[in-house]
Structure 1
Amino acid sequence: MNRLRQLLPLLAALCLGLSACGGAWAQGGPGGQKTRAAGADAAAEPDRSPLVKVADGRMLAPDIARIVNRGELVVSQLATDNPPFFSVKNGELVGTDIDLAKLIASELGVKLRFDRNYKTFDSVVEAVAQGKVDIAVSRLGRTLKRAQMVHFSISYIKLGHAMLINRMRFAQLAGDRPLPQVVRDYTGTLGVLAGSSWEEFGRRNFPKAKLVKYPTWPDLIEAAKKGEVTAVYRDEMEVVQLMREEPGLALTLRTVTFSDLEAPLSVIVGIRDLTLLSFVNELIAQRAVQPTADSVLRALK
């Protein structure tokens, strides 16, 4: 015990000495240790910039660099033509959506390729969500279902909502009630385009309706003409365009438009591609001419 008591002061002095040495090391001890330690830390510290240097020397966000390094913007689009937004004329894709996609690719300085291997609008969106393509430009509306897996750009055109109604079937449904009352509390059959935003719009805006899905727009028109459904639901532009092209349909069908309902069309961007989304938004906002449903219909006429 006496021996241990004699050693305690020596142990304490040793501990103090080690602490002092450690402090000196940390604070810049003898022999330039601080300089060597700092140099080692600096060499080990990684580059904190998230930007990627591309072949021409520019520093770009990773999602933009991916497209620039590939040299190509890949855009998903519905296989079925949807004029005036996109359609093949004289062997070339033309339309308002085509023009927008071309502008995006041009500003990125890359080529443009369309992937049109999709039979429904929802599958066009899913191609972006799954990383098969960079963006989608394909007459696509915003829905809560899609909002869970992709980003929407700001709107590049807004379309009103409309119904195409079979006159005879609707008269049977309405009875003596005025048309606005019947439409707002609609309980009849309502045809919608399968795999499109109009499925969700139909469920939300006409919860008492009996939704019937059809694969194509011509199928919907035939269903309305034959009375298979009392009404079909789509955007005003499509309905107005149909009645202009086939005025004789007015004997069988009538249209109802909704001034308080709109379907904004957006470019679809992947959930991780936030800089690409910002770029597309800015490009849309800066366009010299902002198309409207009326301007596009006038051009068609």
Structure 2
Amino acid sequence: MTDTPPHPLSHSYAVVDVFNGTAFKGNAVGVVFDADNLSDAEMLSFTRWTNLSEAVFVLTATDPLADYRLRIFSSLHELDFAGHPTLGACHAWLEKTGHQALRDYVQQCGVGLVTLRRSVEGLAFRAPPLIRSGLIDASLLERVSSGLRLQAVGARLVSAQWVDNGAGWLALMIDDRDKLLALKPDFAQLDGLAIGVLAPWRSPPCDGEVDFELRAFIAGDSLPEDPATGSLAAGIAQWFAQTGQAPSSYTFSQGTALDRPCRIRVSTMADGIWIGGATKTLIRGQVQFPGSVATRG
């Protein structure tokens, strides 16, 4: 019995778990290949249907320096950049194309070109430049602190910063990991914001397997808390590199509150800050987009 060929309107599809090597414990991303013929509306509709934090669409690169082009969607809108989709898409693309070399690869996306490195430790991406940094306006910081309900858990705000590299993140550090894990945000107060909150894993930090606990909140999204967020980790790493709040290599824990214990590795090297973690394909198949060819001739 021969295999049935793919439907002419179907696309190869994979779901990759990122930042945890144990199946179903990482942050999953849907990866659709050969997506040049899909419209913005189809991409957004598909992403919402998956109920994943993001889905990505692999297209032909338009920059000669890139290996492929990536469009990244959340349930709300398209993102210029996101971390776990970047790692998951590269993992799936390497599997699909058969590339095995331990070398650098280049992704084209909304923030330009992002370099990924495949090594014996796995995949990592070089943190793209921040498009917004610096202090957070006092009135906004008051709104965020209120919406996070910091006072309700007795949390003390240590510092705060914009760490936006294309996903809109701002980040707050508080004093205690247990208080961080106890947060129950009022998302109505945080509408339109992407907020990362972190705390030292222990005091002092950076003396064990994990150095910081991290949570990421996106009010209005179908998944208002993200299990693991590479773009946020990258932005915080650039903040820490400027202030000396962490050593050259360290690890974030994220997803603890969701029973998705993820690990995000940060390594500062001569050629940049690299964000890495485990990647594992869990689903391979085909997805059909009705009319995706017919509507475009």
Please classify the TM superposition score into its range, dividing by the shorter chain length: under 0.3
> TM-score, normalized by length of structure 1?
0.24
Higher normalized strand content (fraction of residues): 2
> Which of the pair has more CA radius of gyration?
1
